[in-house]
Each structure stands twice: as C-alpha cells, then as structure tokens.
Structure 1
C-alpha cells in the first residue's frame, strides 16, 4: 500500500472568520459548496454527491477556527482533511488553509480539486 502525502493550500478569502466558519463547520454550510447534501449525526458527517455518499468523522473542532475530518472508508490512520482559518495579525487578512492527503502522483489533481471547490465557496459567499 502506498503512503499518502500531506499537502496544504492557502486561499486568501475576503470574509470574517465567523462567517467563513459557517461554510465548513456546519452541514448546511458544507452543502452549499462542497457536496450536494451534508447531514450530521453527532461527530459523523455524511457527504452526498449525486448517488454516492461518504461518511467522515470529526476528529477535532475549534469553532470559528478549524475543523478536521477523517473519511471513514480511508483505512490509513494518518490521513485527514482539515479546514483552518488564519488571520494575519497585522493586515487582518483572512486565509483558509486546506490540509489533505493524496497519492504522490495525484497531488496536482487533488490541489486542482480543492482550488475548484474553494472557488465555488468564494462564489457562494461573494468573496
């Protein structure tokens, strides 16, 4: 089994951290840009696309700051995906940092996936 490689991408977003967090820290927010529908039962989130669905467990959450998920189907214990908000202390610029894991030869593809998703998010919030 090949090991997946961790990568991070930073996206500057013109939105307050509190507003931004609503879009990835809640099922209703996620269903506006990330999946067709998202439901949660406690710490298990179900992401639905067309006819497929995947479940993820919330590993860590700091409201207004970050949320970390683990796909339940992914057998690799070290992998997760995380949305984290960073605010520059001086300029107050807000960035969304996405951390994910991918096979080494699929990293560019994964980054493109996230760029498309975050563009969708920016479009949704008008940022």
Structure 2
C-alpha cells in the first residue's frame, strides 16, 4: 500500500457560508452536486455514483465552517486520510472560498483534482454561483 499525498484546492463561491454549508453537510444537499445519491445513518454516509457505493464516516463538523469525512476503506487500513470541505471568508473582501483537502496516491492526484473541479462546478451551478 503506497502512501497517499495530501493536496488542497481552493474555489471562490458566491454564496453565504450558511447556504454553502447546507450543501456540504446534509445528504440531500450533497446529492445535488457531490454524488448521484447520498444517504446517512448517524455518522455513516453512503455516496452512490453510477450504481457504485462508497461509504465514509463523518469525523468532524462545525456549523457553517467545515465538515470532514474518512472513507471506510482508509479506516480499515488504519490510515489517517480524510477529505475535508472548509469554508473560508476573507475578512476584508468578504469573499467566500471553499477549501478542499483530500488525499490520493501519487499517480491519482490529477484525477482527484479533476474530480473536485467537476463536482465544484456542479455545486456552483446548483447554487447559482457561476
């Protein structure tokens, strides 16, 4: 098992932190842009894309600020990998950014970034922040 590399991406989103958080922290919100369908039972979230399922555990969340998940397969490997969506507001301009932190194996980082680019453009489309 090779080590994964941590990477971060930042997207400016024209939406209030409150609105943005609803799309990050609720299964119904996430199923509008992140996956085809999202179900949750307590801390366990199931993400469905084209019929394949991935499960993640909610590790931490802070209202209108951030949410962090760990894929169950990473947890089984005993690895401390996670993916996090964090809202950042510029104190001066009040611009709202969404910071994505994720991990991928070295040869999959570009693929991971492309995935997030696609999902975030879908998110912007859904909330009208184009």
1: distance between equivalents of 2:51 and 2:105?
A: 25
Q: Which residue of 2 aligns with 1:48?
A: 48
Q: Which residue of 2 aligns with 1:77?
A: 79
Q: Which residue of 2 aligns with 1:65?
A: 65
Count of paired positions: 127
Length-normalised TM-score, structure 1: 0.97
Q: Which residue of 2 aligns with 1:105?
A: 107
2: distance between equivalents of 1:33 and 1:96?
A: 14
The CA RMSD over aligned residues, in Å, is: 0.9
Secondary structure in 2 matching 1:102: strand
Q: Which runs of 4+ in 1 moved over 3 A?
A: none
The offset of 1:76, in angstroms, is 4.8
Residue of 120, 123, 127 corresponding to 1:121: 123
**Which 5+ residue runs of structure 2 have no aligned equivalent?**
none
1: distance between equivalents of 2:111 and 2:97?
A: 22
**Segment of structure 1 superposing worse, 109-118 or 10-19:** 109-118
1:93-115 Cα shifts (integer Å, max 9, x gaps): 00000000001122112111100
1: distance between equivalents of 2:98 and 2:120?
A: 9
Length-normalised TM-score, structure 2: 0.94
Q: Greater helix percent: which structure?
A: 2
**Which 5+ residue runs of structure 1 have no aligned equivalent?**
none
